[in-house]
Amino acid sequence: MRRSLALFLAATLGAAAPTPATGGGLDARPELAYHRVKVRVVSTLIARGRADLALEAASQLALDAPEDAATAVALGRALEAGGLLEEAERAFRRAARLDRRDPVSRDLLGRVLLRLGRTAEAVSQIRRATELAPFQPAVWNDLGFAWMVAGEPGRAVGALERAVELDPSVSRSRVNLGFALAAAGRDEEALASFRALLGPADAYADLGLARERRGDAPGAREMYRAALRLDPRHGPAREGIARTEPSPPTGASGDAVGPEPSHETP
């Protein structure tokens, strides 16, 4: 079993399985180095959509090195990719116990907790990740997202502004910042954040979606129409208008009556 798994992992890497080092070798523990390589292969398998193989490989690696935090993280990621969220939570918690200074396990644990609907716990774990890695934009982005899920857009803005400050080139953080600003009612700043990354039509469409999410259907339609004036074929804007158009009133018989003239500015 272990031999066949090692060969499979080596084939995935496109390299031969390692042989023991002989006198003068640079690595006195080649088995440890190869274990690290196999841990990285789990990530490759997940990225390729092979969650089944990733889980098989990670489970074996966890048996080989049960006290290794990086291995526990790999197992958690494979479990999450396979939809086994509660098992993934346990793996990430184990990783965090094995290496209390590792921000990755805390961040991944928080993200799984969000998916499980345990928002307060998720925020707590991701906040700890930002304390352990204060200069990593990805964890600040995840904290901002968690605050949004928690219904705290003001706090989300602060975390996402930090993410953008650390790395202005990360598109995900800029888009999330735009949605957080809009959720906080700061639409002009939200539009500016979207436009720093997107074309004008896309920026207006995203602001329309943000207004739609906060329950402002007329305001959403206004932004979707602005997007369509810039790009009449903009698909998301057309879909947004279709979603937010009020349903025609019905008469006593249930038949639809004629639509009334719109009072909105075209």
> pLDDT tens digits, residue range 187-209?
999 999 999 888 999 999 999 99
Residue 142 to residue 1: CA distance in whole angstroms: 38
Backbone angles phi, psi at 75, to 5 degrees: -65, -45
Does the residue 156 lie in any domain? no
Is 93 inside any structural domain? yes
pLDDT digits (tens, 9 = 90+) for 169-192: 888 999 999 999 999 999 999 999
Provide the whole-model pTM. Answer: 0.78
CATH assignment at residue 43: 1.25.40.10
Give domain status of residue 44, yes or no: yes
Mind listing the pLDDT tens digit for each residue in 213-264?
A: 999 999 999 999 999 999 999 999 999 999 998 876 555 443 333 333 333 3
pLDDT surpassing 70 at residue 7: no
* Residue 148: per-residue pLDDT: 95
Per-residue pLDDT, averaged over 105-131, amounts to 97
Compute how many other C-beta atoms are within 10 angstroms of the C-beta atom of residue 16. 9
Report the pLDDT value the prediction gives residue 21, as an integer from 0 to 100. 39
Please give the pLDDT value at position 248.
Answer: 67
Is the alpha carbon torsion for 94, 97, 98, 101 positive or negative? positive
In a domain, residue 176? The reply is no
Return phi, psi of residue 20, to 5°. -55, 140
Cα–Cα dist 95/104, whole Å: 9
Over residues 85-97, the pLDDT tens digits come to: 999 999 999 999 9
| 13 lies in some domain | yes
Q: Which residue is listed with tokens 């019905």? A: 250
Report the domain count for the chain: 1
Does residue 47 form part of some domain? yes
Q: Is residue 125 a part of any domain in this protein? A: no
Question: What gap in Å lies between CA 235 and CA 248, rounded to an integer?
Answer: 23
Domain that holds residue 84: 1-20+29-99
Cα dihedral sign, 246-252-257-262: negative
Q: Is residue 73 part of a domain?
A: yes
Q: Can you spell out the DSSP letters for the chain?
A: -HHHHHHHHHHHHTSPPP----TT-S-S-HHHHHHHHHHHHHHHHHHTT-HHHHHHHHHHHHHH-TT-HHHHHHHHHHHHHTT-HHHHHHHHHHHHHH-TT-HHHHHHHHHHHHHTT-HHHHHHHHHHHHHH-TT-HHHHHHHHHHHHHTT-HHHHHHHHHHHHHH-TT-HHHHHHHHHHHHHTT-HHHHHHHHHTTS-HHHHHHHHHHHHHHTT-HHHHHHHHHHHHHH-TT-HHHHHHHHHHSPPPPB-TTSPBPPPPPP-S--
DSSP characters for 101-113?
T-HHHHHHHHHHH
Identify the pLDDT of residue 262: 33
